[in-house]
Amino acid sequence: MRALITTTIFFLLSLELIAQNRSDNIPTKYILEVIPDSSMVIDGKTNINSFNCVYKETIQSELKLTQNIFKESSPVQHTGLDFAVACFDCGISLMTKEFSDLLYEEQYPKISMKLLSMFISQDNKSKVINGKGKASMTIAGTERIEKITYVVTHKEGKNFQIKGSKVINILDYNITPPKKMMGMVRVDQSIVVNFNFNFIVDDH
């Protein structure tokens, strides 16, 4: 337990020291990325089965934040992540095609996610580093501001990880749940967006 507490304190201090510059308001630049050991996964279900669609490509974006995120919810500067719908793999080709159809891929080929604000704090009981904030989500051409929560972990050196999930009602994005086989198979209107992103201090 003592080792866990020591590690947690070191992690918090590391984050704060990295974010701190000459002023709380001077941003530190990070690279937020989706790579093979991180992920963007969308889960959904029908009335008879479920689907799990994994993003298969590497993408990067730039994230700038200040030390204020350790005090209160604060705006961040994020260039955003664009996920090509065609790069999601649902494991079965027919399911992948139906997923693309569900998100109107021909008309809207990308899903976009952009972090708008962040607040990172430590849970006094569990010692877990929690984060929350707001993100802009654009799905099927409709943009909405979503509240998100996540856990931050320290991987090594200046590498960190943001992991969380968000339940989304596709009706909010003007997506009509399709029906197959004369209405016998119906897609649930709720999907779960699971994100597991790396973020790395950019020293350049």
Model confidence pLDDT, tens digit, residues 105-147: 999 999 999 999 999 998 777 778 899 999 999 999 999 999 9
Give the mean model confidence (pLDDT) for residues 31-35: 71
Contact 36, 79 (CB under 8 A): no
Render pLDDT for 79-97 as a digit per residue (tens, 0 to 9): 999 999 999 999 889 889 9
Render pLDDT for 157-192 as a digit per residue (tens, 0 to 9): 778 888 999 999 999 999 988 766 444 567 788 999
More confident residue, 25 or 178: 178
What pLDDT, on a 0 to 100 scale, did the predictor assign at position 172? 96
What pLDDT, on a 0 to 100 scale, did the predictor assign at position 110? 97
Whether pLDDT at 2 is above 60: no
What's the pLDDT band for 22 if we cut at 50, 70, 90?
very low
Report the predicted TM-score, pTM, of the whole model to 2 decimal places. 0.80
Whether pLDDT at 54 is above 80: yes
Give the mean pLDDT of the chain. Answer: 81
Residue 9 pairs with which residues in a beta bridge?
A: none
What pLDDT, on a 0 to 100 scale, did the predictor assign at position 204? 59
Which 8-state DSSP code applies to residue 24? T
Cα angle 89-47-140, degrees, rounded to a multiple of 5: 45
More confident residue, 68 or 20: 68
Structure tokens at 75: 């705006």
DSSP assignment of 37-104 equals TSEEEEEEEBSS-EEEEEE-S-EEEEEEE-GGGGTS-EE-EE--EEEEGGGEE-SSHHHHHHHHHHTT
Whether pLDDT at 11 is above 50: no
Domains of the chain, earliest start first: 2-38+57-167+195-201 (2.40.128)
Measuring CA to CA, how many Å separate 50 from each of 45, 59, 96, 187, 202?
Answer: 4, 27, 12, 9, 39
